[in-house]
Amino acid sequence: MAQHLATLSVIISLCFSIILQAAQVNQSDSEYVLKIGTMALVPYGWKDKKSKKHGIIYELNQEIGVRLDVPFTNEIYPFKRMLKMLDRGELDLISSQSHQEALDSGEKLGIQHEIAVIAGTKKESGIKSISDLKGKKLIYHLSSSYIELDETPHSITHVNNYKESVITLHRSRDVDAAVFSEPAYYYWLKELGLTSGDFGNVVVISPEKKQWVFVRRDLPEKLKNDIKLVVEEIYKENIYTDLLFKYGKAPQAVD
């Protein structure tokens, strides 16, 4: 009898242990916080003087977390650091174009939006197309390169940021055009009190450069699939265009 009671006690203890472990796993799953990273670059992600976060990609990433209906954080980091954090598993999700560094850091999951690369031109320069840029003096953002312009000989001046690109294009007589991501061009025009009328034509260099959502490679499959569905939903709703207007592009500005 005593032996049976001892055996029963062991079985009950094992059952209780299994139930407790299952409860802890479920609790851990429910309390998991999705860690989102947004690159620190105006107008895509930045903090103002009161530490309030802003930006087109910041808001798109925020929308992912809200629609997933899970606990999440969305922090802003320098781009290179963000990639390293994704690679180390310190972040679960980022937004990036599909270059080798991003591909090495995580898994490409879905298109977040498509972004145009454009050239703002000097007023009365007469530049209307990529071919018109031949032999011209162009401004590039630091470390940028554009395959579409490789076969159009021109001189290049690199500047530190898009704000400096707009200021230089507007004030300097020694440049003809500057290359931008479309949101950056219109954002800085607005911030600097300028309008499209202060410049020449906008030339489209690349109309649909894809911006992707990347996730860490060992993210649970169910969560990965849920994120993919939400990203596809946001893409189809074209929320990016609404944010492009919110952050500076006038509705009448047609490229």
Let me know if residue 15 belongs to a domain. Answer: no
233 shares its domain with 200: no
pLDDT band at 4 (very low <50, low <70, confident <90, very high): low
In 3D space, the residue among 86, 45, 67 whose CA is nearest the CA of residue 232 turns out to be: 67
Distance CA 86, CA 163 (A): 29
139 shares its domain with 195: yes
In 3D space, the residue among 35, 36, 34, 57 whose CA is nearest the CA of residue 46 turns out to be: 57
127 shares its domain with 153: yes
Residue 28 has pLDDT above 50, yes or no: no
* Contact predicate 134/205, CB 8 Å: no
Let me know if residue 9 belongs to a domain. Answer: no
The count of structural domains within the chain is 2
Distance CA 197, CA 212 (A): 33
pLDDT band at 15 (very low <50, low <70, confident <90, very high): very low
Q: Show the domain range for 201.
A: 116-208
Let me know if residue 74 belongs to a domain. Answer: yes
Residue 110 has pLDDT above 90, yes or no: yes
Task: For residue 77, give the CATH number of its domain.
Answer: 3.40.190.10
214 shares its domain with 92: yes
- Where is 195: in which H helix or E strand? none
Which residues make Cβ contacts (< 8 Å) with residue 25, sequence separation at least 6? none
Which residue carries 């922090």 as its tokens? 75
128 shares its domain with 241: no
217 shares its domain with 97: yes
88 shares its domain with 152: no
90 shares its domain with 171: no
95 shares its domain with 218: yes
Q: For residue range 185-239, list pLDDT tens digits in order.
A: 999 999 999 999 999 999 999 998 999 999 999 999 999 999 999 999 999 999 9
Note the pLDDT of residue 114.
96
Distance CA 255, CA 120 (A): 10
Q: What backbone phi and psi angles, to 5 degrees, belong to 49? A: -65, -20
- Where is 238: in which H helix or E strand? none
217 shares its domain with 134: no
Which tokens in the block code for residue 38?
Answer: 């947004």
89 shares its domain with 163: no
